Amino acid sequence: MTNDGTAKDRQLSDFRVNADEGTLTTDQGIRVDDTDNSLRPGERGPSLLQDFHLREKITHFDHERIPERVVHARGAGAYGYFEPYDDSFSEYTQARFLTTPGRRTPVFVRFSTVAGSRGSADTVRDVRGFATKFYTEEGNFDLVGNNIPVFFIQDGIKFPDFVHAVKPEPHNEIPQASSAHDTLWDFVQLQPETMHMMMWLMSDRAIPRSYRMMQGFGVHTFRFVNAEGRSTFVKFHWTPKLGIHSLVWDETQKIAGKDPDFNRGDLWEAIENGAFPEWELGVQLVPEEDEHRFDFDLLDATKIIPEEEVPVRPVGRLVLDRNPDNFFAETEQVAFHLGNVVPGIDVTNDPLLQARLFSYLDTQLIRLGGPNFPQLPVNRPVAEVANHHRDGYHQTAIHKGEASYHPNSVGGGCPVLAGDASAYTFYPQQVDGKMIRKRAESFNDHYSQATLFWNSMSVWEKKHIIGAFRFELGKVRRKHIREGVVRNLAHVDHHLAVAVAEGVGVASPEPAGETHKRSSPALSQAVDPVRGVATRKIAILVADGVDAADVTTVSEALTGQGAICEVLASIDGSVHDANGETLEVDRSIKTVGSVLYDAVYVPGGDGSVEELGKDGDAVHFVTESYKHGKAVGGSGRAAQALLERAGVPVPAEGVVTGDAAATEFTSAFTEAVAAHRHFGRDSENVPA
């Protein structure tokens, strides 16, 4: 899909190659009439070295792989644009893409998981990367964030240790894309600064329903710098228009088998269907003079600024409206770098951020094979590039002239230095001090915000967190590691520590002292959730004898609001409705599973429901949907009986039965779907 709308799209057009036209040639443009048989003396003879087509084809193939990213290897990307609402932030920043009303800046966004390899499943428990490249008129700005606002460590020098601990263990490379193993939790128990982040990682934030339904955060404190050179501290937030929604743990594990590309496919499909994902960019601003006003250090990336203390102010919107043409060329080769900043945005002394300023450029050199990766189409700025960098692997520019140095007179002194405010200048921060390896004391509190997070959770969120700790630690073989983690948890909340200890077979720890009672409602997914059915997927289970009017009524009510309804039957093809008419089936139940849908509906028609009742997969579909908190609907007495047989109590929260023709039914079912999940249910005893 191409869209020649933005400056970036126009630039990319020069590089696009159509694979569906032309005559087959070698890389040298020589036409080829047989690519299926190598050259050999006689039909049964050995292949000849002089076969340039064979050699070139195999050689190119042998070199197709590049090293995957050392972290965030698994990802999916898309193009779009960012547009500020107005110019209200120009008093804080001279970044024009944030303050010029109506200016649409092209972007490329890549979402990712962190620990898994390139081919790992999407729905694992992990942080999600949310990296945005803004192709601004003043040069590229990269906001390389995550969907969790804090990080595991405070100083970048610990990053290799942390990543070695979370990646598969080195002796047998097990487990893939999972933090549930000894080395990660060993690191965690010995490094209490991880505790706040671990609370987030054990929460539902780490299993998002969709990339389109998760927040993004710049994590570090950055600076805005205005035209007068005044600096203001800033934290960046992305808020999804569709609200923040998650899967449930049991479901994620099943999806990992049934559809390992679940999140990637979801993003792709939404964009192909024109349901363009959207986020609002917000900022928390802290005046320079308030730097030390908080009970934590603004430079400590294991801390948030509670939104109740500093509100998030809306800046503009991000829309993703185009899928890439080629995964490797674009999503794999995109190279983000925290050091890509534009005038008006600057960094701070956060020691995690500082190490990143080195790492991203360094990693691209090995990953993309040399210093010319900014020339790759996806990485090229739309702003003009002119400098004296020359040569290197994969140089594609043909620099003319004799002067490749500065100052020069041979080249007319070009390119000249920017002699005005359009140049990037670093904020002239006062820096002095003795060279020491020492963490600031203001970084010492590792538990208060972990407690704040815990205190802010709803009952069901707490339940999910306890379940996650129990699962993860349950996979840890060494008892002393489990004990160590539980001891640390006692500093967060004693009840939490006891609940986890009970689940993983270690003694309950002593209370570690009084913990505070503060909370921050903005941290909970249960507070003011965004409701809506747009892009939700609803399964409609049918068999011969189904009441087709029910199918039409319910699917029209839902698709009218942007939902996607799929008709499933025991076998693919079509069924005959109660009137003998043909009803097309979208998929066979055997090829999917309830975990790939947000809700299920069983239409009326006694024959149909009776048939479904004989199919264990269909009954399981309903049971499992209920267990995972999804909306369950049924029309007619037989459907209600099927729900009950599947272990679904009628009535129950999010379970809607009734006549499909009645508007009360369609509106109640739509409401139930819009709520996303119904965790008030008592479904722990449901086997599925």
Give kind and range of the element (H or E) at residue 38: none
CB nearer ligand HDE, residue 266 or residue 598: 266
Question: Binding ligand HDE by CB under 6 A: which of 355, 641, 650, 661?
Answer: 355
Work out how close the CB of 504 gets to ligand HDE at its nearest, in angstroms, rounded to a whole number.
29
For residue 575, give the 3-state DSSP assignment: strand
Give the whole-angstrom CA distance, residue 58 versus residue 303: 51
Q: What is the DSSP letter of 273?
A: T
* 359 near ligand HDE, rule: CB under 6 A: yes
Closest contact distance (angstroms) between CB of 220 and ligand HDE is: 6
Q: Which is nearer to ligand HDE, 75 or 604 (CB)?
A: 75
72 tagged catalytic: yes
The yes or no reply on residue 443 touching ligand HDE (CB under 6 A) is no
Among 406, 416, 291, 401, which residue's Cα sits nearest to residue 349? 291
State the Cα–Cα distance between residues 120 and 598, nearest whole angstrom. 23
Q: Which is nearer to ligand HDE, 159 or 665 (CB)?
A: 159
User: Treating both helix axes as pointing N-terminal to C-terminal, what angle do 351-367 and 159-166 enclose, rounded to 10 degrees?
Assistant: 60
Q: Give how far the C-alpha of residue 16 lies from the chain's centroid of Cα atoms, to the nearest Å.
A: 27
**Does residue 70 belong to the site contacting ligand HDE (CB under 6 A)?**
yes
* Interacting positions 545-564 with ligand HDE (CB under 6 A): none
Task: List the x/- string, 141-180, binding to ligand HDE by CB under 6 A.
Answer: ---xxx----x----x--x---------------------
45: burial class by Cβ within 10 Å (0-12, 13-18, 19+)? exposed
* Residues of span 181-200 touching ligand HDE by CB under 6 A: none
Question: Could you tell me the smallest distance in angstroms from the CB atom of residue 328 to ligand HDE?
Answer: 13
CA quadruple 347, 352, 354, 360: dihedral positive or negative?
A: negative
Taking the least distance from each CB to ligand HDE, the nearer of 67 and 311 is 67
Q: What is the pattern of x (binds ligand HDE, CB under 6 A) and - over residues 14-53?
A: ----------------------------------------
CB of 374 to ligand HDE, least distance (A): 13
Q: Smallest distance from the beta carbon of 605 to ligand HDE, in angstroms? A: 48
Enumerate residues 85-114 that contact ligand HDE by CB under 6 A: 110, 112
Q: Which residues of 331-352 are buried (b: 16+ CB within 10 A; e: fewer)?
A: bbbbbbbbebbbbbbbbbebbb
Taking the complex as a whole, the smallest distance from the CB of residue 339 to ligand HDE amounts, in Å, to 11
* Total residues at interface with ligand HDE (CB under 6 A): 26
What does DSSP assign to residue 511?
Answer: P
363 interacts with ligand HDE by CB under 6 A: yes
If binding is defined by CB under 6 A, does position 538 make contact with ligand HDE? no
Inter-residue contact 283 to 89 (CB < 8 Å): yes
Which of 85, 268, 360, 471 binds ligand HDE (CB under 6 A)? It is: 360
Q: Which of 72, 237, 446, 620 is catalytic?
A: 72
The one among 129, 306, 467, 647 contacting ligand HDE by CB under 6 A:
129
Of 240-248, 314-322, 359-367, 475-483: span binding ligand HDE (CB under 6 A):
359-367
Q: By CB under 6 A, which span of 42-50, 352-360, 520-528, 565-573 interacts with ligand HDE? A: 352-360
Is 181 an active-site residue? no
Any contact of residue 336 with ligand HDE (CB under 6 A)? yes
Shortest Å distance, C-beta 293 to ligand HDE: 23
| Residue number, 52 or 358, with CB nearest to ligand HDE | 358
Q: Is 75 in the site for ligand HDE (CB under 6 A)?
A: yes
Q: According to CB under 6 A, which residues from 288 to 307 bind ligand HDE?
A: 301
Distance CA 95, CA 224 (A): 8
Is the Cβ–Cβ distance between 528 and 522 less than 8 Å?
A: no
**Per CB under 6 A, does 365 bind ligand HDE?**
no
User: How much of the chain is helix, strand and coil, in % rounded to 5?
Assistant: 35, 15, 50
Cα–Cα separations (whole angstroms), residue 229 to 139, 224, 233, 447: 19, 9, 13, 36
For 223, what's the count of Cα atoms within 13 Å in the CB-facing half-sphere? 22
Applying CB under 6 A, does 327 fall inside the site for ligand HDE?
no
Q: What six digits make up the tokens of 156?
A: 């970048």
Strands 345-346 and 537-541: unpaired
Structure tokens at 54: 């064979």
DSSP summary character for residue 479:
H
Catalytic residue among 18, 37, 140, 146: 146
Question: Does residue 252 come out as left (phi exceeding 0), alpha (psi in the -120 to 50 range) or beta?
Answer: alpha
∠ CA(326), CA(331), CA(336), 5° rounding? 150
- For residue 74, state whether it binds ligand HDE (rule: CB under 6 A): no
Which of 510, 581, 514 lies closest to 542, judged by CA?
581
Residues that are catalytic: 72, 146
Q: Which stretches of the chain bind ligand HDE, using CB under 6 A?
A: 69-72, 75, 110, 112, 129, 131, 144-146, 151, 156, 159, 219, 301, 334-336, 352, 355-356, 359-360, 363
